[in-house]
Amino acid sequence: MRTAPTILHLDMDAFFASAEQASKPSLRGKAVIVGGLGPRGVVATASYEARVFGVHSAMPMAQARRLAPNAACLVPRFAFYRSISEQVMGLLRSLSPLVEPLSLDEAFVDLEAGGAAGDADSARLVGEGLRADILAVTGLTGSVGLAACKMLAKIASEQAKPDGLVLIEPGTERSLLAPMPVRTLPGVGPATGDHLRRAGIHTVGEIAEAGEGELVRLLGKAHGQALHAMALAHDERPVVAEREAKSVSVEDTYDVDIHDRLRVGLEVRRLADRCVRRLRASGLSGRTIVLKVRRYDFSTLTRSETLRGPTDDPAVVREAAARLLESVDTTGGVRLLGVGVTGLADYTQEDLFAQAAGARAESLAEEPAEEPDEERAAPAERRWPSGHDVRHAEHGHGWVQGSGVGRVTVRFETPLSEPGRVRTFRVDDPDLEPADPLPLVRRRPDGAEGAEGAEGEACAVGGVEPAL
């Protein structure tokens, strides 16, 4: 392990919810919940104001609404979040060539590899500068952890939340870890945690005291040895710049169980097409087609078929998924469907199946050039997801507060305005249309981003203009 805290872990604070609050002045300082709003919706992110009421990610949305009945519940805008994430990752890559993204809002950075820092003082300066740059460019806050290894850097960023920086000095790791609960260590989930507690082990310090032999006896050789090493603050995992994708998949959960077998087949076909579009967008192909079916009773079935070679042909993937569906009993209803492709490669073997040849030309002609933005697909049906951006010919830019019974309620405000007024329209009002998200910060006259400066020069975030 290193002798200097030059591994940085960045975790954006309540990322989705914070982005929504920054975008909507009327929601700043208030409880915001982002996630699926249907009967089976799940919380993706909750603002810190909502967490006070016990709301957290992965919680059923229905439960979150009961805990925080006055919270603003919004449908995610993933294209918007991705555009902000690209800005943040760009800042990280300016520090080092070794940046390991874990998600849209989280990444490790090897500061030593980029020559950005070599000791505790320089690492702290880099971390504080990064936080300031993120705020200036995106208008959002992130928490930074600095340590001599990845495990401790992540623990430090968790301690720094929200909007802070924690640096773990080399030599203090063991004393810091000792009183922490066993679930602090990566790889210790509920089952392992319960197993350790039954053995009388409750803290990281007690894991270290138990010894490697006892942990191997309890958990097996690989897990026991790894856990003992982490309890001693030993983590030799490097920061890996590129993570090889193992699969590409899509899935949908339905508000009402699907009972019609024909409808199930059509949904599988649609998911197969979406999966192929993601494959092609990544420049990949794959050999194994996977079908996932979660039935009415929560039982989940997975079926797979391996082809003779990798493909990114939508007709081939559709036909394989349809064959897999034939072996699944959907009697009683289906609540979730998914289609995935594994065994990825960066090349394609043509003409895998003769039966797909006739359909190939037709499918390619029908397939859109790029995957439509699912968040933007609603306007054709005049549906207005809560939280999404709109523009009215008379009132300007706003966002959807809610819709139903033929009406849509819009609050007219922008990230740089005061809280705006609310108006209600017919869902088919010709003057109302979907809009791209607006930038969260202004651009100064010298071209740099910042919270202050000239208006009207910033590029649209998540729209057709390039991201900031």
Active site residues: 106
Residues 22 and 303: their CA atoms lie apart, in Å, by 43
Q: What angle do CA 88, 91, 95 make, to 5 degrees?
A: 140
Contacts of residue 9, defined as CB under 8 A and 6 or more positions apart, other chains included, come to: 106, 107, 108, 109, 144, 145, 146, 147, 150, 153, 154, 156, 157
C-alpha angle 185/61/300, rounded to 5°? 70
Q: Alpha helix locations (H) across 260-387?
A: 261-281, 314-326, 357-366
Measured at the CA of 431, the angle between CA 428 and CA 437, to 5 degrees, comes to 100
User: How far is it, in rounded angstroms, from Cα 212 to Cα 256?
Assistant: 50
Strand (E) positions, 205-260? 247-258
* The pair of three-digit structure tokens given for residue 52, joined into one six-digit string: 């006070």
Q: Tokens 């705020």 correspond to what residue?
A: 135
CA separation for the pair 111, 134 (Å, rounded): 17
CA distance 164 to 157: 8
How many helices and strands (H and E) does the chain possess?
14, 19
Per the CB < 8 A criterion, the answer to whether 203 and 179 are in contact is yes
CB neighbour list of residue 218: distance below 8 Å, 6 or more residues apart: 195, 196, 199, 224
